[in-house]
Amino acid sequence: MVLLDRHDRYGAVSIVLHWALAASMLLAWLFGQLGDPRGARELFQLHNSFGLLALVFALALVIWRLFVPRPEPLVKSPLERILARTVQAGLLAVAIAAPLSGIVALQSEGRPVRFFGIEVLSGNAPSARWLDGATRVLPTPAHADEDRQEEEHAYAGGYREEGEAGEAAEELHELLVVPLFLLLLGLHVAGVAKHHLIDRVPVLRRMLGRPALPAAG
């Protein structure tokens, strides 16, 4: 498999970024449905972690596309090309905006942001108060373990109520994560299925690292 994109196929970098982003977004959505910060918090932390991972892959893909052009489009219809590019751009926008809005919502309450157990933004430190001002936060008992600390802070008044920025971010996050993401994903999958099964255009074949047409002989 070639590393860079060519006129008739995607290279290894584009393929890995595409499927890694797709897997991260799906897992973030799945764990977001299963997890609950008031219940299944481990699953909810996985939702946050895979969301951050999707953000990294999405930004990497955007930067990659600035320097490496796509292969020549296989779809001939101008309308279908515009539709496909719009849906793809929408999915990239969701992959970037959803994690960022989630971070804003968490930080506005003084909650930490963790990436697979590693705290990347502290919760009750001053960095968590940049949205809503220096609201008082209850002190954390030094002897309590991490999970109990977070639970006590969250549900005994330790975390602040969301300010306007946090509420707006949470509403945006919920809109992006469920209806918009599922709509765009459905359109993307339906478009690929149409091209692959009905039009016999090998768009899926190219994203699997194969040339648009089988080699002769």
Instruction: Outline where the chain has alpha helix (H).
Output: 12-34, 41-67, 78-108, 146-155, 164-175, 181-193, 203-207
User: Is position 17 within any domain?
Assistant: yes
The reported pLDDT for the residue numbered 73 is: 86
| Cα–Cα dist 199/197, whole Å | 6
User: Is position 215 within any domain?
Assistant: no
User: Is position 214 within any domain?
Assistant: no
Query: pTM value?
Result: 0.78
From first to last of its 217 residues, what are the pLDDT tens digits of the chain? 788 998 888 999 999 999 999 999 999 999 988 876 555 678 889 999 999 999 999 999 999 999 999 988 888 889 999 999 999 999 999 999 999 999 988 888 888 999 999 999 887 644 444 454 433 333 344 433 554 455 444 444 445 555 667 778 888 888 877 789 999 999 999 999 999 899 998 888 889 887 665 443 3
CATH classification at residue 168: 1.20.950
**Which amino acid is it at 50?**
F
The reported pLDDT for the residue numbered 130 is: 45
What is the token pair recorded at 154? 């969250």
Domain, as residue range, for 88? 12-133+145-207
The reported pLDDT for the residue numbered 150 is: 52
Number of domains in the chain: 1
Q: Is 130 helix (H, G, I), strand (E, B) or coil?
A: coil
DSSP conformation class of 38: T
The reported pLDDT for the residue numbered 145 is: 52
Sign of the Cα pseudo-torsion (194, 29, 168, 124, in order)? negative
| Cα–Cα dist 10/71, whole Å | 6
Q: Is 197 helix (H, G, I), strand (E, B) or coil?
A: helix
User: Is position 140 within any domain?
Assistant: no
